[in-house]
Amino acid sequence: MAIVIVVGAQWGDEGKGKLVDFLTHKADLVARYQGGHNAGHTVVINNEKYVLHLIPSGVLHKDKVCIIGNGVVVEPAALIDEIKGLRERGIKIGGNLLISKNAHLIMPYHIALDNAGEKMRGKKCIGTTGRGIGPTYVDKMARTGIRVGDLLSPEVFMGKVASNLKNINFLLKNLYKAGGFSAQKIFNEYMAYTKILRKHIADTDLIINEAVIAGKNVLLEGAQGTLLDIDHGTYPYVTSSNSIAGGACTGVGIGPTKISRVLGVVKAYTTRVGSGPLPTELSDATGEEIRRKGGEFGATTGRPRRCGWLDTVILRHAAAINGLTGIAITKLDILDGLEKIKICTAYRYKGKTYNHFLKETDVFEKCTPVYEEMEGWQESTLGIKEFKKLPSRAQAYIRRIEELVGVKAHIISTGQKRDELILLRNQF
Ligand code: GDP
Ligand code: IMO
Ligand code: MG
């Protein structure tokens, strides 16, 4: 038995969905531990593409228990849409999908506050997904949040909505010059959602810990990535939750002593959506080519992703902060055909060299990467399933990443599809 965390090692969109789907073959239970429907996790099976936002990427396997943990923020309408969309495509969703009573609800006013806040920040905006994520976590920490379990007590729910709206409507009208919300309307809407979701609401911490005691294989799926973590990312250009491995323990209610492995998902180059520093960003034809070939457009908002060379400084940071036991390198095939490939090994700022991630976001924004150059490979790696079949220069690239990051590659992904990967070490 094993408890495995899958965590993004960069700025999100590393290919976590594909990896979680693959690892679910051997898992009994898969749980999301933070974030909300700001996430977009893509899984391609044969030629069918699925994008999961809130539901764990293990849902495409029959008979696996899928849990939305307490650390997740849930927009009920989005969740219902996702369930409906999957059912229409023949995916069975019944008692196997469970939502924590302690997960916080995204309310319509959180979405309004998210968008109004971004508008007010103007040029300094974070570039959020506009899904209400930040304001929902604000309410959670301020202890004014409304939880999924509150849906089961209509009076409690109504009391909390009415109380919150006193402040929020004042703020919306007077600060943001936006429209307010009616408590009754929200109540009616959310009670209708409750009718649909009621059977999925559960004490998920008990269920997960029972599975752990029973010796089951548990997979904990992170959203976003290490550099988008609220504490360890490029603050304030981050999301509002702990996306790192530590967030998995708080986000589902498992003790740290139970975790067996932490697999960091590393895209073979770097991408980022939204604002904030990205030292290795390529604003030239190579960046454009990587975006085009890699289909680097947001799975949630459709925005073009900013692309750049691999940055091993942030990967060393990710290895340390998450306690990575292995890495999965994805999208190797996208680098096929490049003449030269660069790897960032350090940063330069005002004549000094830095070998570690810079916490001062304004400095990180201005530092220049120190690159090491490797010869690219001209052969196709698409769909290769054995390490020794990779072109020797691609093998050298993988080995150099392992050296620079100090963590071994356990999986190498060579295509979008479920079976397009090289498995070097089992996780379960
Ligand atoms: P996530 O948010 O970490 O789950 O990643 P996304 O789904 O947002 O973005 C990753 C994209 O890359 C998706 O379109 C995947 O289908 C795709 N992908 C994942 N692994 C590979 C790979 O090894 N090669 C290629 N070509 N595409 C991949
Ligand atoms: P997955 O799980 C990439 C980014 C947004 C924005 C910042 C804050 O698919 O990897 P938020 O709406 O969370 O308040 O936005 O975080 N962001 C992501 N970028 N992948 C994601 O998820 C992201 N979720 C949020 O673009 O810069
Ligand atoms: Mg994504």
Per-residue pLDDT of the chain (428 residues; tens, 9 = 90+): 899 999 999 999 999 999 999 999 999 999 999 999 999 999 999 999 999 999 999 999 998 999 999 999 999 999 999 999 999 999 999 999 999 999 999 999 999 999 999 999 999 999 999 999 999 999 999 999 999 999 999 999 999 999 999 999 999 999 999 999 999 999 999 999 999 999 999 999 999 999 999 999 999 999 999 999 999 999 999 999 999 999 999 999 999 999 999 999 999 999 999 999 999 999 999 999 999 999 999 888 889 999 999 999 999 999 999 999 999 999 999 999 999 999 999 999 999 999 999 999 999 999 999 999 999 999 999 999 999 999 999 999 999 999 999 999 999 999 999 999 999 999 99
Q: Which residues form the catalytic set? A: 13, 41
Kindly provide the residue ranges of all beta strands, DSSP E only, lying in 118-214, ordered along the sequence.
201-202
Q: Which ligand is nearest to the CA of 114?
A: 2
Query: d(Cα 382, Cα 397) in Å, to the nearest integer?
Result: 16
Report the pLDDT value the prediction gives residue 301, as an integer from 0 to 100: 85
Smallest CA-to-CA distance from 7 within 307, 248, 273 is with 248
CA of 50 to the centre of ligand 1 (A): 11
Q: 106 φ, ψ to 5°? A: -80, 125
Q: Which ligand is nearest to the CA of 267?
A: 1
**Protein residues within 5 Å, CB atom, of ion ligand 3:** 13, 40, 299
In sequence order, the β-bridge partners of residue 326 are: 263
**pTM (2 decimals)?**
0.98
CA of 302 to the centre of ligand 2 (A): 12
Q: How far is CA 55 from the centre of its chain?
A: 12
Question: How many CB atoms are closer than 10 A to CB 333?
Answer: 22
Q: Is 296 in the pocket of ligand 1 (CB under 6 A)?
A: no
Q: Which ligand is nearest to the CA of 292?
A: 1
Query: d(Cα 414, Cα 382) in Å, to the nearest integer?
Result: 5
- Ligand 2 neighbours, Cβ below 6 Å, are 8, 12-13, 38-41, 126-129, 131, 133-134, 223-225, 228, 239-240, 273-274, 299
CB contact at 8 A, 39 and 11:
no
CA of 62 to the centre of ligand 2 (A): 29
Q: Whose CA is nearest to atom 23 of ligand 2?
A: 224
Residue type, 233: G
CB contact at 8 A, 330 and 16:
no
Query: d(Cα 92, Cα 85) in Å, to the nearest integer?
Result: 11
Q: Whose CA is nearest to atom 16 of ligand 1?
A: 416
Q: 55 φ, ψ to 5°? A: -80, 135
CB contact at 8 A, 386 and 298:
no
> Containing H/E element for 21?
helix 16-23
